[in-house]
Amino acid sequence: MDWYGVGKNENKEMVKNFNLSNMSTLTKGSRSFSRNVKTMGFNLEDRLAGGRISRRRSLRPEEKHPAVAPPSSGQQHQQQNNNNSNLSRRRTTTASGSSNSTPSRPSAPTRIIYRERLGYESDLDLPFWQRTWFIGILLVMALSFFGLAIFLFLTLDSDYTSTPVYAATSEGVEITYGSVLKLMHEKTRFRLHSHDVPYGSGSGQQSVTGFPNVDDANSYWIVRPMPETSAKQGDSIKSGAIIRLQHMKTRRWLHSHLHASPISGNLEVSCFGDDNNSDTGDYWRLEIEGSGKTWRQDQRIRLRHVDTSGYLHSHDKKYNRIAGGQQEVCGVREKRADNVWLVVEGVFLPVSESK
């Protein structure tokens, strides 16, 4: 390079200063490029790790505007070598350096996967009952419902099934005077029942109803003969005989008269009197269905009131207040298929040997 109009020595000095200025500018540019490369490397590593922690390094105040002194020729050569090494992204290691280097720390994705594997293995280490508690609750509920179904099936009253009620034996137990029994209405399968509750209308006497349950002490009746006859306890009862039914708990007699029944308006059936008081309103004539001549448990019967000629009857119309759920028992003058009764439970006295 020739500088015209300048001396030779001055020309050399200007060339030297020009080269130093260019090297200083090159040093600044290489440093800036190295920082940019490092920053790009950190940002790339952060993105691979999930971007949770920003590792971008901020420059210190003194690094932003460094004071650059004119380097010497030896320093200039060393800076060029350093800049060339910084421009390379891949760091080379010697064999000795790789053998003595310590194991590097796992990166962020590796650590996250390792923690997830540890958590999964810890779930497998839980006790069996903790991992299957929901299935256990479902099994307990299923067993409870199954047990409840069995309990209801075993305690279900057989009288509410569609199968007719018969005696334990093929011939049936013979009914005698003094026997204690329960009468069931054949169609509705409610039992003849009474309790110490008077009617709110009509005669105001003790009410008689049909009761749905089996185990009730207010549904027992004692079979008695007429007072004027010679029949006694243990004697057989023939078809057409006049009998009385005494309520075992209240000691009153099954009674009927011309008062209207509360629901249907038919003949009222009540309980009246006591052990020492009885009249013709307590008389009922036994009518056995079929060819039987003596009363047995397996026979279908009708009871016809002597004074009013009304048949003992019941239907599915029920009371709502005092005797809620119990149905009306009344008397009807027509001989119908729905005024048939059956003996279903009781204590039956054996037939007396004396004639």
Query: 27-31, 91-95, 211-215, 294-298 — which one is most confidently predicted on average?
Result: 294-298
| In contact, 212 and 325? CB cutoff 8 Å | yes
DSSP characters over 32-47: HHHHHHHHHHHHHHHH
Least confident span in 17-21, 204-208, 232-236, 251-255? 17-21
For the cut 50, the answer to whether the pLDDT of residue 332 exceeds it is yes
Q: What percent of the chain has pLDDT over 90?
A: 44
Tokens 């049936």 — which residue? 172
Q: How far apart are CA 97 and CA 33, in angstroms?
A: 27
Residues β-bridged to residue 185: 341
Of 281, 289, 329, the residue nearest 309 (C-alpha): 281
Give the tens place of pLDDT for each residue, 41-72.
545 455 545 544 444 444 444 444 444 445 55
| In contact, 195 and 189? CB cutoff 8 Å | no
Instruction: Return the half-sphere exposure (C-beta side, CA atoms, 13 A cut-off) of residue 273.
Output: 18
Q: How far apart are CA 111 and CA 344, in angstroms?
A: 82
Within 8 A by CB and 6+ apart from 237, the residues are: 175, 176, 177, 223, 243, 286, 294, 295
Tokens 């249907």 — which residue? 264
The residue-averaged pLDDT of 199-204 equals: 91
The residue-averaged pLDDT of 171-178 equals: 88
* Amino acid symbol at 46: D
Least confident span in 64-73, 132-141, 208-217, 219-228? 64-73
- The pair of three-digit structure tokens given for residue 295, joined into one six-digit string: 């009363």
Q: What burial class does residue 99 get, using C-beta atoms within 10 Å of its C-beta: 0-12 exposed, 13-18 middle, 19+ buried?
A: exposed
**What pTM does this model have?**
0.54
Of 242, 252, 250, the residue nearest 280 (C-alpha): 242
Q: What percent of the chain has pLDDT over 70?
A: 58
